[in-house]
């Protein structure tokens, strides 16, 4: 009799635990969506919202300053016998706008090499406001003889950047790892035109 009562009590406890686990599992999906929407972690949860004036499935970025346009110029410098260049030389962006550009590289040597790029910015005050989310400069790469690579740079410019800055130059110097690391390139002012400034 005592044993039956204990067994019945154990069955009830297990049933309550099973129902609780089922309810928790069922509630996980809406809880996950609510947390993602509040924190902005999951872009898919945001994309499900209906946003007036936005394309379906694309969240509106309220951080973009559409009243300003900044020209971003792309430069590439090589410290070795290889080819390195941006796919495009410049583009115009709004502060806060997420932008992707591509740099192309080819190891033209007949040997394997390890290499890395270092970035620099002009004017210098743009450095703190140029935010890269993805960049080949974050890593070193090993490239086989003749191997070609295309690497994206995903960035946005902080809207807090001074309104005096209308052009930014992003420059990369690509060098072989194991050699002496070159100094970052320095922005050079364009030469003065003859007769300029004379009265």
The mean of the pLDDT values for the chain is 77
Question: Which of 72, 97, 67 has its CA nearest to residue 158?
Answer: 97
Question: Which of 41, 156, 178 has its CA nearest to residue 99?
Answer: 156
94 touches 66 (CB < 8 A): yes
Same domain, 80 and 43: no
**24: containing domain:** 2-47
Same domain, 90 and 158: yes
Residue at 57 is within a domain? no
- What are 60-86's pLDDT values in tens digits? 455 788 899 999 999 988 777 788 899
CATH number, position 120: 2.60.370.10
Same domain, 33 and 86: no
Same domain, 88 and 171: yes
Same domain, 35 and 128: no
Same domain, 158 and 91: yes
* pLDDT at residue 141, rounded to an integer: 86
Mean pLDDT of 1-11: 80
* pLDDT at residue 193, rounded to an integer: 47
**CA–CA separation, 78 vs 103, rounded Å?**
12
Identify the burial level of 128 via C-beta atoms within 10 angstroms of its C-beta, where 0-12 means exposed, 13-18 middle and 19 or more buried: exposed
Residue at 183 is within a domain? no
Same domain, 100 and 153: yes
Per-residue pLDDT band at 22 (split at 50, 70, 90): confident
Q: Is 153 a residue whose pLDDT tops 80?
A: yes
Same domain, 36 and 115: no
Same domain, 77 and 172: yes
Same domain, 143 and 112: yes
Mean pLDDT of 122-138: 90
* pLDDT at residue 98, rounded to an integer: 92
* pLDDT at residue 131, rounded to an integer: 92
At a CB cut-off of 8 Å and minimum separation 6, what does 59 contact?
Answer: 43, 46, 47, 49, 51
Q: Is 59 a residue whose pLDDT tops 70?
A: no
| Strands 90-93 and 70-79, sheet pairing | antiparallel
SS (H, E, C) the chain: CHHHHHHHHHHHHHHHHHHHHHHHHHHHHHHHHHHHHHHCCCHHHHHCCCCCCCCCCCCCCCCCCCCCCEEEEEEEEEECCCEEEECCCEEEECCCCCEEEEEEEECCCCCCEEEEEEEEEECHHHHHHEEEEECHHHCCEEECCCCEEEEEEEEEECCCCCCCCCEEEEEEEEEEECECCCCCCCCCCCCCCCCCCCC
Same domain, 24 and 102: no
């Amino acid at each position: 009799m005592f044993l039956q009562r204990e067994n019945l009590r154990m069955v009830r406890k297990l049933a309550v635990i099973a129902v609780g686990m089922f309810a928790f599992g069922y509630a996980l999906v809406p809880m996950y969506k609510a947390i993602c929407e509040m924190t902005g972690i999951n872009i898919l949860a945001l994309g499900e919202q209906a946003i007036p004036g936005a394309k379906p499935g694309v969240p509106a970025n309220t951080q973009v300053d559409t009243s300003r346009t900044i020209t971003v110029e792309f430069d590439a410098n090589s410290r070795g016998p290889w080819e390195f260049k941006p796919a495009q030389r410049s583009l115009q962006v709004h502060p806060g706008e997420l932008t992707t550009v591509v740099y192309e590289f080819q190891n033209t040597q007949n040997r394997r090499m390890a290499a890395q790029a270092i970035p620099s910015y002009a004017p210098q005050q743009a450095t703190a406001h140029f935010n890269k989310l993805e960049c080949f400069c974050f890593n070193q790469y090993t490239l086989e003889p003749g191997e070609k690579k295309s690497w994206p740079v995903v960035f946005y410019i902080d809207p807090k950047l001074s309104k005096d800055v209308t052009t930014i130059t992003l420059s990369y110097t690509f060098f072989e790892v194991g050699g002496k690391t070159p100094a970052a390139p320095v922005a050079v002012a364009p030469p003065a035109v003859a007769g300029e400034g004379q009265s």
